[in-house]
Structure 1
Amino acid sequence: MPLVKLEKINQNSSWALWKIQETADLLTKYVHLPSDDLIELREIHHPRKKLEWLSSRAALRALLNAEDHPEFRLIKDDKGKPYLLNETFHISLANSFPYGAAIIHRHHPVGIDIEKPSAKLLRVKHKFLNSTEAEEACDDLDKLCIYWAAKESLYKLYGRKQLSLKQNIGVDFPTNQSVSASILLNEQATRFRLDTFRWDEFYIVLSHID
Protein backbone atom coordinates (compact mmCIF):
# COMPACT_ATOMS: atom_id res chain seq x y z
CA MET A 1 0.00 0.00 0.00
CA PRO A 2 1.83 3.12 -1.20
CA LEU A 3 0.74 5.50 1.51
CA VAL A 4 3.93 7.54 1.60
CA LYS A 5 2.89 10.14 4.18
CA LEU A 6 0.29 10.46 6.92
CA GLU A 7 0.97 13.24 9.36
CA LYS A 8 -0.89 15.08 12.07
CA ILE A 9 -0.77 18.86 11.76
CA ASN A 10 -2.34 19.30 15.19
CA GLN A 11 -4.93 17.50 17.33
CA ASN A 12 -7.72 18.46 14.91
CA SER A 13 -6.08 18.12 11.53
CA SER A 14 -4.05 15.63 9.47
CA TRP A 15 -2.92 15.19 5.88
CA ALA A 16 -1.83 12.28 3.72
CA LEU A 17 0.01 11.63 0.47
CA TRP A 18 -0.54 8.59 -1.76
CA LYS A 19 1.69 7.46 -4.62
CA ILE A 20 -0.07 5.56 -7.37
CA GLN A 21 1.35 2.09 -7.84
CA GLU A 22 -1.87 0.07 -8.13
CA THR A 23 -4.42 -0.58 -10.82
CA ALA A 24 -7.68 1.33 -10.79
CA ASP A 25 -9.47 -1.84 -9.64
CA LEU A 26 -7.22 -2.24 -6.60
CA LEU A 27 -7.58 1.42 -5.65
CA THR A 28 -11.36 1.19 -5.99
CA LYS A 29 -11.44 -1.80 -3.64
CA TYR A 30 -9.26 -0.04 -1.08
CA VAL A 31 -11.31 3.16 -1.07
CA HIS A 32 -14.57 1.18 -0.96
CA LEU A 33 -16.61 3.74 -2.87
CA PRO A 34 -20.38 4.08 -2.39
CA SER A 35 -22.62 3.61 -5.43
CA ASP A 36 -22.87 7.33 -6.28
CA ASP A 37 -19.10 7.70 -6.45
CA LEU A 38 -18.81 4.53 -8.53
CA ILE A 39 -21.10 6.18 -11.08
CA GLU A 40 -18.86 9.26 -11.16
CA LEU A 41 -15.76 7.08 -11.51
CA ARG A 42 -17.25 5.25 -14.52
CA GLU A 43 -17.76 8.61 -16.24
CA ILE A 44 -13.97 9.23 -16.18
CA HIS A 45 -12.66 7.60 -19.35
CA HIS A 46 -9.00 8.65 -19.40
CA PRO A 47 -7.00 5.96 -17.51
CA ARG A 48 -4.58 8.41 -15.84
CA LYS A 49 -7.36 10.79 -14.79
CA LYS A 50 -9.17 7.85 -13.24
CA LEU A 51 -6.09 6.88 -11.24
CA GLU A 52 -5.58 10.48 -10.09
CA TRP A 53 -9.21 10.73 -8.99
CA LEU A 54 -8.86 7.51 -7.02
CA SER A 55 -5.49 8.41 -5.49
CA SER A 56 -6.77 11.50 -3.67
CA ARG A 57 -9.63 9.44 -2.30
CA ALA A 58 -7.19 6.72 -1.23
CA ALA A 59 -5.31 9.38 0.75
CA LEU A 60 -8.60 10.48 2.31
CA ARG A 61 -9.53 6.87 3.11
CA ALA A 62 -6.19 6.45 4.92
CA LEU A 63 -6.88 9.59 6.97
CA LEU A 64 -10.38 8.44 7.90
CA ASN A 65 -9.13 4.96 8.80
CA ALA A 66 -6.57 6.54 11.14
CA GLU A 67 -9.43 8.41 12.83
CA ASP A 68 -11.52 5.21 13.08
CA HIS A 69 -14.10 6.85 10.84
CA PRO A 70 -15.33 4.22 8.37
CA GLU A 71 -17.90 6.35 6.51
CA PHE A 72 -16.85 7.45 3.06
CA ARG A 73 -19.64 9.31 1.33
CA LEU A 74 -18.62 12.44 -0.53
CA ILE A 75 -21.12 15.05 -1.67
CA LYS A 76 -20.40 18.10 -3.83
CA ASP A 77 -21.89 21.52 -3.19
CA ASP A 78 -23.15 23.82 -5.95
CA LYS A 79 -19.59 25.03 -6.58
CA GLY A 80 -18.19 21.51 -6.93
CA LYS A 81 -16.42 21.39 -3.56
CA PRO A 82 -16.49 17.88 -2.04
CA TYR A 83 -17.46 17.32 1.56
CA LEU A 84 -18.31 14.35 3.76
CA LEU A 85 -22.00 13.54 3.99
CA ASN A 86 -22.46 14.38 7.68
CA GLU A 87 -19.50 16.79 7.86
CA THR A 88 -17.60 15.02 10.63
CA PHE A 89 -14.48 16.52 9.05
CA HIS A 90 -13.80 19.36 6.65
CA ILE A 91 -11.79 17.97 3.74
CA SER A 92 -9.81 18.97 0.67
CA LEU A 93 -8.39 16.80 -2.12
CA ALA A 94 -5.65 17.24 -4.71
CA ASN A 95 -3.76 15.19 -7.26
CA SER A 96 -0.92 15.44 -9.74
CA PHE A 97 0.24 12.19 -11.27
CA PRO A 98 1.55 9.99 -9.72
CA TYR A 99 0.36 11.48 -6.41
CA GLY A 100 -2.94 12.05 -4.66
CA ALA A 101 -3.27 14.06 -1.46
CA ALA A 102 -5.91 14.89 1.13
CA ILE A 103 -6.30 16.96 4.27
CA ILE A 104 -8.96 16.87 7.02
CA HIS A 105 -9.89 19.16 9.93
CA ARG A 106 -12.51 18.64 12.63
CA HIS A 107 -13.70 22.24 12.87
CA HIS A 108 -12.51 24.51 10.06
CA PRO A 109 -12.30 24.51 6.25
CA VAL A 110 -8.93 23.46 4.86
CA GLY A 111 -7.24 23.37 1.46
CA ILE A 112 -4.49 21.34 -0.18
CA ASP A 113 -2.74 21.43 -3.53
CA ILE A 114 0.13 19.54 -5.13
CA GLU A 115 1.92 20.87 -8.21
CA LYS A 116 5.07 20.25 -10.22
CA PRO A 117 7.07 23.20 -11.60
CA SER A 118 6.29 23.56 -15.29
CA ALA A 119 7.03 26.01 -18.08
CA LYS A 120 3.29 26.50 -18.58
CA LEU A 121 3.32 28.64 -15.42
CA LEU A 122 5.39 31.21 -17.31
CA ARG A 123 2.58 31.56 -19.85
CA VAL A 124 -0.19 32.07 -17.29
CA LYS A 125 1.57 33.89 -14.44
CA HIS A 126 -0.11 37.18 -15.39
CA LYS A 127 -3.47 35.55 -14.61
CA PHE A 128 -2.74 34.61 -11.00
CA LEU A 129 0.03 36.94 -9.71
CA ASN A 130 -0.40 40.54 -8.64
CA SER A 131 2.37 43.03 -9.44
CA THR A 132 4.27 42.49 -6.17
CA GLU A 133 4.16 38.70 -6.52
CA ALA A 134 5.19 38.87 -10.19
CA GLU A 135 8.23 40.99 -9.28
CA GLU A 136 9.22 38.50 -6.58
CA ALA A 137 8.73 35.40 -8.73
CA CYS A 138 10.16 36.71 -12.02
CA ASP A 139 10.64 33.58 -14.15
CA ASP A 140 11.64 31.26 -11.31
CA LEU A 141 9.60 28.10 -11.89
CA ASP A 142 9.89 26.94 -8.28
CA LYS A 143 8.57 30.25 -6.95
CA LEU A 144 5.81 30.34 -9.54
CA CYS A 145 4.81 26.82 -8.57
CA ILE A 146 4.63 27.69 -4.86
CA TYR A 147 2.53 30.77 -5.60
CA TRP A 148 0.18 28.74 -7.79
CA ALA A 149 -0.19 25.88 -5.30
CA ALA A 150 -0.66 28.30 -2.40
CA LYS A 151 -3.43 30.19 -4.18
CA GLU A 152 -5.10 27.01 -5.38
CA SER A 153 -5.13 25.61 -1.85
CA LEU A 154 -6.77 28.78 -0.52
CA TYR A 155 -9.24 28.76 -3.40
CA LYS A 156 -10.27 25.26 -2.35
CA LEU A 157 -10.45 26.25 1.32
CA TYR A 158 -12.75 29.15 0.51
CA GLY A 159 -15.07 26.93 -1.48
CA ARG A 160 -14.54 27.77 -5.14
CA LYS A 161 -16.90 30.75 -5.07
CA GLN A 162 -16.45 34.06 -6.88
CA LEU A 163 -12.77 34.45 -6.10
CA SER A 164 -9.92 35.76 -8.25
CA LEU A 165 -6.51 34.19 -7.68
CA LYS A 166 -4.91 37.47 -8.75
CA GLN A 167 -7.18 40.05 -7.13
CA ASN A 168 -8.50 38.35 -4.00
CA ILE A 169 -5.67 36.07 -2.83
CA GLY A 170 -2.36 37.52 -1.72
CA VAL A 171 0.70 35.44 -0.82
CA ASP A 172 3.82 36.65 0.97
CA PHE A 173 6.61 34.55 -0.46
CA PRO A 174 8.11 32.33 2.26
CA THR A 175 11.59 32.47 3.69
CA ASN A 176 10.99 29.05 5.26
CA GLN A 177 8.30 26.37 5.14
CA SER A 178 5.54 28.61 6.47
CA VAL A 179 3.75 31.01 4.12
CA SER A 180 1.60 33.95 5.15
CA ALA A 181 -1.37 34.62 2.89
CA SER A 182 -4.71 36.41 2.88
CA ILE A 183 -8.08 36.45 1.17
CA LEU A 184 -9.31 40.00 0.53
CA LEU A 185 -13.05 40.44 0.04
CA ASN A 186 -15.19 43.54 0.53
CA GLU A 187 -12.11 45.43 1.77
CA GLN A 188 -11.62 42.92 4.59
CA ALA A 189 -8.62 40.59 4.76
CA THR A 190 -8.62 37.16 6.43
CA ARG A 191 -5.18 35.82 7.24
CA PHE A 192 -4.08 32.22 6.79
CA ARG A 193 -0.99 30.16 7.44
CA LEU A 194 0.13 27.88 4.64
CA ASP A 195 2.61 25.05 5.12
CA THR A 196 4.76 24.16 2.11
CA PHE A 197 6.66 20.95 1.43
CA ARG A 198 8.87 19.62 -1.34
CA TRP A 199 8.33 15.96 -2.22
CA ASP A 200 10.25 14.52 -5.15
CA GLU A 201 9.72 17.12 -7.87
CA PHE A 202 6.46 18.41 -6.43
CA TYR A 203 5.40 21.18 -4.09
CA ILE A 204 2.60 20.55 -1.60
CA VAL A 205 0.76 23.37 0.15
CA LEU A 206 -1.62 22.98 3.11
CA SER A 207 -3.96 25.87 3.96
CA HIS A 208 -5.70 26.43 7.27
CA ILE A 209 -6.89 29.33 9.38
CA ASP A 210 -4.05 31.23 11.00
Structure 2
Amino acid sequence: MPFYKEIIINDTTSIYLWKIEEDFNTFFRQVQLKDTSLTRLECMKSESHQNGFLAVRMLLQYLQYSDFDLYYDDFGKPHLKDGKHISISHSQDFSAILISNTPMGIDLEILKDKIVTIAPRFMDASHLENLEQDNKIKKATVIWGIKESIFKIKNERGISFPKHIFEKPFHLNDKRGFAQLRFNNLIEEYCFQFEFVDNYALVCAFQNK
Protein backbone atom coordinates (compact mmCIF):
# COMPACT_ATOMS: atom_id res chain seq x y z
CA MET A 1 0.00 0.00 0.00
CA PRO A 2 2.23 2.82 -1.22
CA PHE A 3 0.76 5.84 0.49
CA TYR A 4 3.71 8.10 -0.12
CA LYS A 5 3.50 11.09 2.20
CA GLU A 6 1.45 13.86 3.76
CA ILE A 7 2.56 17.46 3.31
CA ILE A 8 1.04 19.82 5.87
CA ILE A 9 0.40 23.29 4.42
CA ASN A 10 -1.28 24.78 7.49
CA ASP A 11 -3.52 23.72 10.38
CA THR A 12 -6.49 23.01 8.09
CA THR A 13 -4.81 22.05 4.81
CA SER A 14 -2.79 19.00 3.79
CA ILE A 15 -1.62 17.35 0.59
CA TYR A 16 -1.63 13.56 0.33
CA LEU A 17 0.44 11.67 -2.23
CA TRP A 18 0.08 8.11 -3.52
CA LYS A 19 2.95 6.53 -5.45
CA ILE A 20 1.42 4.32 -8.12
CA GLU A 21 3.04 0.90 -8.02
CA GLU A 22 -0.09 -1.24 -8.36
CA ASP A 23 -1.53 -2.49 -11.61
CA PHE A 24 -5.10 -1.82 -12.65
CA ASN A 25 -6.52 -5.10 -11.33
CA THR A 26 -4.96 -4.63 -7.90
CA PHE A 27 -6.45 -1.15 -7.65
CA PHE A 28 -9.83 -2.20 -8.96
CA ARG A 29 -10.19 -4.93 -6.32
CA GLN A 30 -9.56 -2.44 -3.51
CA VAL A 31 -11.82 0.48 -4.35
CA GLN A 32 -15.57 0.89 -4.27
CA LEU A 33 -16.93 3.01 -7.09
CA LYS A 34 -20.34 4.51 -7.74
CA ASP A 35 -21.92 3.87 -11.12
CA THR A 36 -20.93 7.23 -12.62
CA SER A 37 -17.29 6.63 -11.67
CA LEU A 38 -17.36 3.14 -13.19
CA THR A 39 -18.69 4.61 -16.43
CA ARG A 40 -16.00 7.29 -16.39
CA LEU A 41 -13.30 4.70 -15.71
CA GLU A 42 -14.47 2.50 -18.59
CA CYS A 43 -14.22 5.45 -20.98
CA MET A 44 -10.55 6.03 -20.19
CA LYS A 45 -8.34 4.62 -22.94
CA SER A 46 -5.04 4.85 -21.04
CA GLU A 47 -4.26 2.44 -18.20
CA SER A 48 -2.02 5.14 -16.74
CA HIS A 49 -5.01 7.49 -16.57
CA GLN A 50 -7.15 4.72 -15.07
CA ASN A 51 -4.55 4.02 -12.40
CA GLY A 52 -4.27 7.71 -11.55
CA PHE A 53 -8.05 7.88 -11.18
CA LEU A 54 -8.10 4.80 -8.93
CA ALA A 55 -5.14 5.99 -6.85
CA VAL A 56 -7.13 9.14 -6.01
CA ARG A 57 -9.88 6.84 -4.68
CA MET A 58 -7.29 4.93 -2.67
CA LEU A 59 -6.19 8.21 -1.10
CA LEU A 60 -9.80 9.02 -0.25
CA GLN A 61 -10.19 5.64 1.44
CA TYR A 62 -6.90 6.15 3.29
CA LEU A 63 -8.48 9.34 4.71
CA GLN A 64 -11.73 7.57 5.66
CA TYR A 65 -13.62 8.96 2.68
CA SER A 66 -14.83 7.04 -0.35
CA ASP A 67 -15.77 7.64 -3.97
CA PHE A 68 -19.33 8.10 -2.72
CA ASP A 69 -18.25 11.20 -0.75
CA LEU A 70 -16.87 12.85 -3.89
CA TYR A 71 -18.93 14.65 -6.52
CA TYR A 72 -18.30 17.03 -9.40
CA ASP A 73 -20.18 20.22 -10.29
CA ASP A 74 -21.30 21.22 -13.77
CA PHE A 75 -17.86 22.70 -14.49
CA GLY A 76 -16.05 19.49 -13.51
CA LYS A 77 -14.75 20.78 -10.19
CA PRO A 78 -14.56 18.15 -7.41
CA HIS A 79 -16.28 18.60 -4.04
CA LEU A 80 -16.65 16.61 -0.85
CA LYS A 81 -20.08 16.09 0.69
CA ASP A 82 -18.87 17.10 4.17
CA GLY A 83 -18.09 20.63 2.92
CA LYS A 84 -14.31 20.30 2.92
CA HIS A 85 -12.57 21.63 -0.17
CA ILE A 86 -10.69 19.17 -2.35
CA SER A 87 -8.36 19.55 -5.32
CA ILE A 88 -7.00 16.61 -7.32
CA SER A 89 -4.04 16.02 -9.62
CA HIS A 90 -2.20 13.02 -11.02
CA SER A 91 0.76 12.55 -13.33
CA GLN A 92 2.21 9.17 -14.31
CA ASP A 93 3.66 7.69 -11.10
CA PHE A 94 1.80 9.85 -8.56
CA SER A 95 -1.69 10.93 -7.60
CA ALA A 96 -2.28 13.80 -5.19
CA ILE A 97 -5.21 15.31 -3.36
CA LEU A 98 -5.35 18.49 -1.33
CA ILE A 99 -7.99 18.82 1.39
CA SER A 100 -8.64 22.14 3.10
CA ASN A 101 -11.19 24.26 4.93
CA THR A 102 -10.72 26.95 2.26
CA PRO A 103 -10.69 26.84 -1.56
CA MET A 104 -7.29 25.81 -2.86
CA GLY A 105 -5.88 24.28 -6.02
CA ILE A 106 -3.14 21.71 -6.58
CA ASP A 107 -1.14 20.61 -9.60
CA LEU A 108 1.39 17.82 -9.99
CA GLU A 109 3.58 17.74 -13.11
CA ILE A 110 6.47 15.56 -14.20
CA LEU A 111 9.60 17.46 -15.21
CA LYS A 112 10.16 17.27 -18.97
CA ASP A 113 12.46 19.10 -21.38
CA LYS A 114 9.51 19.95 -23.64
CA ILE A 115 8.12 22.45 -21.12
CA VAL A 116 10.89 24.93 -21.98
CA THR A 117 10.04 24.75 -25.69
CA ILE A 118 6.35 25.47 -25.12
CA ALA A 119 6.88 27.98 -22.28
CA PRO A 120 6.22 31.08 -24.46
CA ARG A 121 2.71 29.74 -25.10
CA PHE A 122 1.66 30.04 -21.45
CA MET A 123 4.10 32.35 -19.62
CA ASP A 124 6.52 35.26 -19.91
CA ALA A 125 9.60 33.38 -21.13
CA SER A 126 11.87 36.16 -19.84
CA HIS A 127 11.30 34.63 -16.36
CA LEU A 128 13.57 31.77 -17.50
CA GLU A 129 16.48 33.96 -18.55
CA ASN A 130 19.92 33.34 -17.04
CA LEU A 131 18.96 29.89 -15.73
CA GLU A 132 20.69 26.60 -16.46
CA GLN A 133 18.61 24.14 -18.47
CA ASP A 134 17.62 21.99 -15.47
CA ASN A 135 16.39 25.05 -13.60
CA LYS A 136 14.56 26.32 -16.67
CA ILE A 137 12.65 23.02 -16.74
CA LYS A 138 11.87 23.24 -13.04
CA LYS A 139 10.78 26.87 -13.09
CA ALA A 140 8.64 26.55 -16.22
CA THR A 141 6.95 23.48 -14.72
CA VAL A 142 6.28 25.33 -11.46
CA ILE A 143 4.81 28.29 -13.37
CA TRP A 144 2.51 25.95 -15.30
CA GLY A 145 1.49 24.46 -11.93
CA ILE A 146 0.79 27.92 -10.50
CA LYS A 147 -1.53 28.76 -13.36
CA GLU A 148 -3.22 25.35 -13.29
CA SER A 149 -3.77 25.57 -9.52
CA ILE A 150 -5.31 29.04 -9.75
CA PHE A 151 -7.49 27.95 -12.66
CA LYS A 152 -8.77 25.03 -10.54
CA ILE A 153 -9.78 27.42 -7.77
CA LYS A 154 -11.54 29.92 -10.01
CA ASN A 155 -12.87 27.32 -12.43
CA GLU A 156 -14.42 29.71 -14.94
CA ARG A 157 -14.59 29.27 -18.68
CA GLY A 158 -12.56 31.74 -20.70
CA ILE A 159 -9.56 32.01 -18.39
CA SER A 160 -6.32 31.98 -20.40
CA PHE A 161 -3.01 31.06 -18.77
CA PRO A 162 -0.92 33.64 -20.72
CA LYS A 163 -3.54 36.38 -20.84
CA HIS A 164 -5.07 36.28 -17.36
CA ILE A 165 -2.76 34.59 -14.80
CA PHE A 166 0.53 36.30 -13.91
CA GLU A 167 3.14 35.10 -11.45
CA LYS A 168 5.30 37.69 -9.73
CA PRO A 169 9.09 37.14 -10.00
CA PHE A 170 10.39 34.39 -7.72
CA HIS A 171 13.41 32.12 -7.33
CA LEU A 172 13.30 28.35 -7.11
CA ASN A 173 14.80 28.41 -3.63
CA ASP A 174 11.96 30.67 -2.44
CA LYS A 175 9.52 27.72 -2.54
CA ARG A 176 6.64 30.22 -2.51
CA GLY A 177 5.40 33.42 -4.09
CA PHE A 178 2.48 35.49 -5.33
CA ALA A 179 0.38 35.67 -8.48
CA GLN A 180 -2.57 37.59 -9.89
CA LEU A 181 -5.65 36.60 -11.83
CA ARG A 182 -6.82 39.48 -14.02
CA PHE A 183 -10.15 38.42 -15.48
CA ASN A 184 -13.56 39.97 -16.12
CA ASN A 185 -12.35 43.41 -15.00
CA LEU A 186 -11.25 42.07 -11.62
CA ILE A 187 -7.78 41.60 -10.14
CA GLU A 188 -7.46 38.83 -7.55
CA GLU A 189 -4.36 38.08 -5.52
CA TYR A 190 -3.10 34.53 -4.87
CA CYS A 191 -0.33 32.90 -2.88
CA PHE A 192 1.41 29.75 -4.03
CA GLN A 193 4.00 27.35 -2.71
CA PHE A 194 5.81 24.47 -4.33
CA GLU A 195 8.29 21.68 -3.85
CA PHE A 196 9.84 18.90 -5.88
CA VAL A 197 8.96 15.26 -5.24
CA ASP A 198 11.15 12.78 -7.10
CA ASN A 199 11.01 14.05 -10.70
CA TYR A 200 7.81 16.04 -10.23
CA ALA A 201 6.84 19.62 -9.36
CA LEU A 202 4.05 19.89 -6.81
CA VAL A 203 2.33 23.27 -6.59
CA CYS A 204 -0.59 24.53 -4.53
CA ALA A 205 -2.28 27.93 -4.52
CA PHE A 206 -4.93 29.81 -2.55
CA GLN A 207 -6.60 33.17 -2.87
CA ASN A 208 -5.68 36.06 -0.58
CA LYS A 209 -8.74 37.57 1.04
TM class by shorter-chain length?
Answer: 0.7 to 0.9
**Cα separation, 2, equivalents of 1:172 and 1:54:** 36
Match of 2:58? 58
Shift of 1:154: 1.0
CA contact (8 A) 2:86 2:99 kept: yes
The answer on 1:20 being equivalent to 2:20 is yes
Cα separation, partners in 2 of 1:31 and 1:179, compared to 1, 3 Å: farther
Structure 1: where are the runs of 5+ without partners?
A: none
Structure 1 stretches (4+) deviating beyond 3 angstroms?
28-31, 69-73
CA contact (8 A) 2:31 2:58 kept: yes
Cα RMSD for the two superposed structures = 2.0
Worse overlay, 40-49 or 52-61: 52-61
**Cα separation, 2, equivalents of 1:143 and 1:21:** 28
| Aligned partner of residue 190 in structure 2, secondary structure | strand
CA deviations 1:160-187 (Å, max 9, x no partner) are: 5321111111112433111211211234
Match of 2:95? 100
**Cα separation, 2, equivalents of 1:174 and 1:54:** 35
Shift of 1:203: 0.6
The answer on 1:144 being equivalent to 2:140 is yes
| Aligned partner of residue 48 in structure 1, secondary structure | helix
The answer on 1:135 being equivalent to 2:111 is no
Shift of 1:189: 1.8
Shift of 1:27: 2.3
The answer on 1:118 being equivalent to 2:112 is yes
Corresponding residue pairs, total = 201
After TM superposition, the structure 1 = structure 2 runs for residues 158-173 of structure 1, keeping only pairs within 5 Å, are: 158-173=154-169
CA contact (8 A) 1:27 1:54 kept: yes
**Cα separation, 1, equivalents of 2:185 and 2:156:** 19
TM-score by length of 2: 0.86
CA contact (8 A) 2:32 2:66 kept: no
- Amino acid corresponding to residue 109 of structure 2 in structure 1: E
